[in-house]
Amino acid sequence: KSFLYKLWKGDVSSKMLNPRLQKAMKDYLSTNKHGVRFKGKRNSKLTGDQLFCELKERVNVKTIDGKEAPFSTLGWEKHVPQIPLGKLYTHGFGSCAVVMSAGAILNSSLGDEIDSHDAVLRFNSAPTHGYEKDVGNKTTMRIINSQILTNPNHHFVDSSLYKDVILVAWDPAPYSANLNVWYKKPDYNLFTPYVQHRRKNPNQPFYILHPKFIWQLWDIIQENTKEKIQPNPPSSGFIGILIMMSMCNEVHVYEYIPSVRQTDLCHYHELYYDAACTLGAYHPLLYEKLLVQRMNKGLQDDLYRKGKVILPGFKSVKC
């Protein structure tokens, strides 16, 4: 049976990846750049429903609110939006789409279906213009990593991609989630462009994720995986899925678990090929995907043909 078929069934291990990706994973394990010291137990054998309830109970979408040092001393309470992310939409959203940037979404004709959702989440610099037929054109929220704010190639200040949407930024912090250490030495310095953007666009909801939230997700991935996962933050895709599970009644995730269109084309909007984009090298992406596959409530046929997984929102299921 093919790797893709096994992924659809949730029956893969890193040993089935190509040697280059296995080597990259090993190297990240030995480097442990973020000082991860996992204190939990691996390989807890939860069912999909139990895993969902574990996430619902433990996951707390937390953003920098300016109340903790060093942000409190730096006057960040007046830099961050007055309304917290979780209170932006008091009743939350009905059905939501999470659109992954994978090359496999090309030629999917999923655009209309994606736009029919109440809210649509996209990532980083993924465009809609010119790709509407496959990815739709509605964007409610964008999750951006710190490189988007700091790399001039992305034109964060002027690009229309980052206007009229809720922005949620993040940066890999130390596992200790020590905000003083992180502030002094972020992976990419997102703090300065963040404050500048907030000053210029005070009415745009724009948040920075709290490192505690990101590493809490990592802990849960490791607890539910037999193998040692890469000691690096989960991908923006996984972070986004969890944010939408806490804001929506139902979450439709497109091309995270690849469809029959699976390809090494990294992004639908870029001519760059690397299997690591879909299966992970830096991020524990393969393991994230196995957890999402375990919780899938959608039809197998939608998974094969659309690369679609359906997850309930946290408030839709009693645990």
What are the start-end ranges of the H helices in 248-299?
276-279, 285-295
Tell me how far, at minimum, the Cβ of 186 lies from ligand C5P, in Å: 18
Cβ atoms 119, 247 nearer than 8 A: yes
Tell me how far, at minimum, the Cβ of 293 lies from ligand C5P, in Å: 12
Is 92 or 237 the residue whose CB approaches ligand C5P more closely?
237
Helix (H, G, I), strand (E, B) or coil at 24: helix
Residues 14-33, mask of contacts with ligand C5P (x by CB under 6 A): --------------------
Number of residues that bind ligand C5P (CB under 6 A): 15
* Largest separation between any pair of C-alpha atoms in the chain: 58
The one segment of 75-83, 162-170, 179-187, 232-240 that binds ligand C5P by CB under 6 A: 232-240
235 counts as binding ligand C5P under rule CB under 6 A: yes
101 counts as binding ligand C5P under rule CB under 6 A: yes
236 counts as binding ligand C5P under rule CB under 6 A: yes
H or E segment and range at residue 103: none
Q: How many helices (H) and strands (E) does the chain have?
A: 13, 9
Residues 6+ apart with CB under 8 A from 180: 69, 70
Task: Give, as ranges, the residues between 245 and 274 that touch ligand C5P (CB under 6 A).
Answer: 256, 266-267
Helix (H, G, I), strand (E, B) or coil at 154: helix
Tell me how far, at minimum, the Cβ of 81 lies from ligand C5P, in Å: 24
Pairing mode of beta strands 166-170, 265-267:
unpaired
Tell me how far, at minimum, the Cβ of 46 lies from ligand C5P, in Å: 22
232 counts as binding ligand C5P under rule CB under 6 A: no
277 counts as binding ligand C5P under rule CB under 6 A: yes
Instruction: Produce one character per residue of 76-98: b if its CB has 16 or more CB atoms within 10 Å, e if not.
Output: beebbbeeebeeeeeebbeebbb
Residues 6+ apart with CB under 8 A from 28: 230, 231, 232, 281, 282
**Total residue length of the chain:** 319
170 counts as binding ligand C5P under rule CB under 6 A: no
The one segment of 40-48, 62-70, 98-106, 221-229 that binds ligand C5P by CB under 6 A: 98-106
Is 100 or 309 the residue whose CB approaches ligand C5P more closely?
100
Task: Give, as ranges, the residues between 110 and 149 that touch ligand C5P (CB under 6 A).
Answer: 123-124
237 counts as binding ligand C5P under rule CB under 6 A: yes
E strand residue ranges, 58-183 = 93-99, 119-123, 141-145, 166-170
* Position closest to ligand C5P via CB: 237
Considering only 63, 146, 278, 296, the residue that binds ligand C5P (CB under 6 A) is 278
Residues that bind ligand C5P (CB under 6 A): 100-103, 123-124, 235-238, 256, 266-267, 277-278
